Amino acid sequence: MKAILAIPVVVVIVLLDQITKLVAEATLAATPRPVFGDWFRFALVYNPGAAFGLHLGPYSRWLFMGLTAGALVILGRLYQQTEQHDFRRVLAIALVAAGAVGNVIDRIRSEYGVVDFLDIGFGVHRWPTFNIADIAVSSGAFLLALVLWQEERRELAAQAAAGEAATPSPTNSRDLAP
């Protein structure tokens, strides 16, 4: 049941990400193209580092590929532990995994780094340029954090309820009188 949701999400996100990146590389020059004025535009950028342009020198590419592989292993374990009917958790894991795969494909195929092309902001105040994979990772990570937080709250509430049921209620001295 989980795979019915996870596999299509991963496939669609990875394909959409790769197709949009190929189109961006084929059609965008060095000059940004306005879509909604200066607020939203297409601008081709190669990011050799990680999110927000974090760059760790000449070995960034290999380091981030290794970190992505580790993250995919952790996501695989989370997926295995997820119950069949847990739609939100499966969706979150699939989104993060798909985005990670989309960006690691770029790291493998190009020494320039990840292709970014979505640019938002006002004037010189711009958000770091991003792509479809980044949107999937960010939204999936947010959803996964929310799901895990809610799971933890439910577990704590269940433990508290079980503790109250096992603990005798306090008595006052009048209840003990013969």
- From CA 154, how far away is CA 176, in angstroms rounded? 36
Least reliable range by pLDDT among 72-81, 118-127, 139-148: 118-127
Residue 106 known to be catalytic: no
Residue 38 known to be catalytic: no
Choose, from 17, 116, 119, 175, the residue flagged as catalytic.
116
In the predicted model, is pLDDT for residue 175 greater than 60? no
Domain boundaries, the chain: 2-158
- Quickly state the pLDDT bin for 104 (edges 50, 70, 90): very high
Choose, from 17, 106, 119, 134, the residue flagged as catalytic.
134
Plot region of 29 (φ>0 → left; ψ -120 to 50 → alpha; else → beta): beta
- Order of strands across the sheet that contains 33-36: 33-36, 40-47, 114-122, 125-126
Condensed to tens digits (0 to 9), the pLDDT of residues 3-19 reads 999 999 999 999 999 99
